[in-house]
Amino acid sequence: MNNLDLSNITIILNAPRYPENIGAAARCCKNMGISTLRLVKPERIDMDKIQKMATHEALDVVESMTIHDDLKAAIDDLHYLAGTTARTGRRRRPSHSPRELATFVASLDKETRIGLLFGSEKWGLKNHDLSLCSSVVTIPTSNFSSINLAQSVMILCYEIFTAKLNSPIIKRPRLATFREKEGMFHHLYDTFEKVGLFEKQTPSYWMLNARRLFNGKGLTAKDVKMVRGFLRQVTWALKNARE
Amino acid sequence: MNNLDLSNITIILNAPRYPENIGAAARCCKNMGISTLRLVKPERIDMDKIQKMATHEALDVVESMTIHDDLKAAIDDLHYLAGTTARTGRRRRPSHSPRELATFVASLDKETRIGLLFGSEKWGLKNHDLSLCSSVVTIPTSNFSSINLAQSVMILCYEIFTAKLNSPIIKRPRLATFREKEGMFHHLYDTFEKVGLFEKQTPSYWMLNARRLFNGKGLTAKDVKMVRGFLRQVTWALKNARE
């Protein structure tokens, strides 16, 4: 038994289909000392099935679990979000191994709130969900890459727990929350529009690229301030030039 | 996708209760490139439930799965057996982490047949089962140490798969099979009896200690030959002394 502090870890299941997997994920959380579980648009909530799979020991995780209508609302207060995907034929962002993620996460202080995001059993995470992620994680597998949802949750929780067991904590500057980053993206959108970028390419083209640029970097609160300071300056300069 | 050769790994579920866990374990095997699954005295075989959890992709693992009446019969051809236990209050043998086991297993050549043994959902492995194991593994957890059976299977398979991904193979002498070791233990029993050890302590006392002495060491085929050569010599000397 190890009383590690994993209170800064949040598990987010996006559009889960089977109540059994929700319950099994709650049990994983409890095994690995994680207490925060969030669901986004679950297909079905069957508390009997959830509680049976969670076992009596993990009922507190189930009871404090929250349900959200929208992924953004479920990650709003987090500083870092890792999304999991199976390796597929399509071209996607380069992904990390669970161990690489765990080593990084274990090095952060407990003030940094980290989300682990899992897609639905049928579809996984869609590109739009992945665009919100700070990094993407793929569990290494043999030819059959589709891992049961709760098993994926377990592997990531287990890796982070294990990494925390013997990792020193390095003090880092505070990361930006999703709220802060979304504010910055809105600000970017406005500025892109003002400078006429949307006449060259669609807004979604520019915004996807902006998200790609900023999401993977572990953006700090200070970085966000700096970017927004620059954007304000652009607006000011434009306005000045026109007057 | 990684076509690693894990054909030397066998998963053994001892007295599993729930068909769902058998199916989920089969899916884990398939995810991690393991094709051999053995059941010992399963409480119930419900092929519909097993196949549903295994998914279509892992049906070959389910179809080639074998069922045994006795643990010894299920491990007879293996060279090394790792048993999994939750950390409990009782005093037990020192246990390794899944990563320690995986590093060791990944260093063995593919001729060395390795079993991963899991106990029932309710009781885990009993001391008698553990006495057959070459080593004992405990998955690190927070305060709630009871991990779902299929989740435990996944963690061990995942660790071994990951360790194999980037491990060099070191050529080692061939380990003794369980059949060879059991032959040696029978031989030891006979010899203990002949030299009068059982008048000092019960046979089970001496045999348990003998198993403890030899099981953890990765006994090679050559070691077994040497021990049995010594035992034969003792018998010969005894006989000679009495004549």
Do B195 and B120 sit in the same domain of this protein? no
On the question of pLDDT at A80 being above 60, the answer is yes
Mean pLDDT value of segment B36-49? 97
Please report, for the domain that includes residue B113, its CATH number: 3.40.1280.10
Query: CA–CA separation, B221 vs B173, rounded Å?
Result: 8
Domain boundary among B165, B199, B216: B165
Highest mean pLDDT among A145-159, A165-179, A184-198, B157-171: A145-159
Pairing relation of β-strands B114-118 and B80-84? parallel
Q: Which of residues 16-75 of B touch A (CB under 8 A)?
A: 24, 27-28, 30-33, 55, 57-58
* Domain extent at residue B203: 178-242
What is the predicted pLDDT for the residue at B92? 62
B183 with B84, same domain: the answer is: no
Between positions 195 and 234 of A, the ones with CB within 8 A of B are none
Do A184 and A234 share a structural domain?
yes
Please indicate, yes or no, whether residues B33 and B147 belong to a single structural domain of this protein.
yes
| Last-in-domain residue among A165, A198, A232 | A165
The answer to whether residue A1 scores a pLDDT higher than 60 is: no
Per the prediction, chain A carries an average pLDDT of 88
Give the total number of structural domains in chain A: 2
The answer to whether residue A171 is domain-embedded is no
Burial zone of A29 (CB within 10 Å; 0-12 exposed, 13-18 middle, 19+ buried):
buried
Same domain, A137 and A182: no
Same domain? For B157 and B182 the reply is: no
Q: Which value does ipTM take for this structure? A: 0.73
pLDDT in tens, A17-27: 999 999 999 99
Residue A132, min C-alpha distance to chain B (Å): 25
- Considering the domain architecture, whether residues B110 and B218 belong to the same structural domain is answered as no
Q: Which of B31, B99, B139 lies at the smallest CB-CB distance from A147?
A: B31
Q: Per the domain annotation, does A113 fall within a domain?
A: yes
**pLDDT for the residue numbered B127:** 87
Residue A29 to residue A112: CA distance in whole angstroms: 18
- Of B133, B165, B197, the domain-final residue: B165
Same domain, yes or no: A38 and A104: yes
A6: chain B residues, CB-CB within 8 Å: 142
Is A30 in contact with B148 (Cβ distance < 8 A)?
A: no
What's residue A125's pLDDT?
Answer: 94
pLDDT score of A109: 83
Question: In this structure, are A143 and A229 located in the same domain?
Answer: no
Q: Is residue A30 part of a domain?
A: yes
Q: Between residues A193 and A32, which one has the greater pLDDT?
A: A32
CB of B87 within 8 Å of a chain A CB? The answer is yes
Give A99's DSSP letter. Answer: H
Phi, psi of A47 (to 5 degrees): -60, -30
Q: In chain A, what residues touch B157 (CB-CB under 8 Å)?
A: none
Residue B40 pLDDT > 80: yes
Q: Is the pTM of this model over 0.90?
A: no
- Most B CBs within 10 Å: which of A148, A152, A156, A160, as the mutation test of the B interface? A148
Higher local confidence (pLDDT), B53 or B207: B53
Residue of B nearest to A23 (CA): B148
Shared domain check, A225 and A139: no
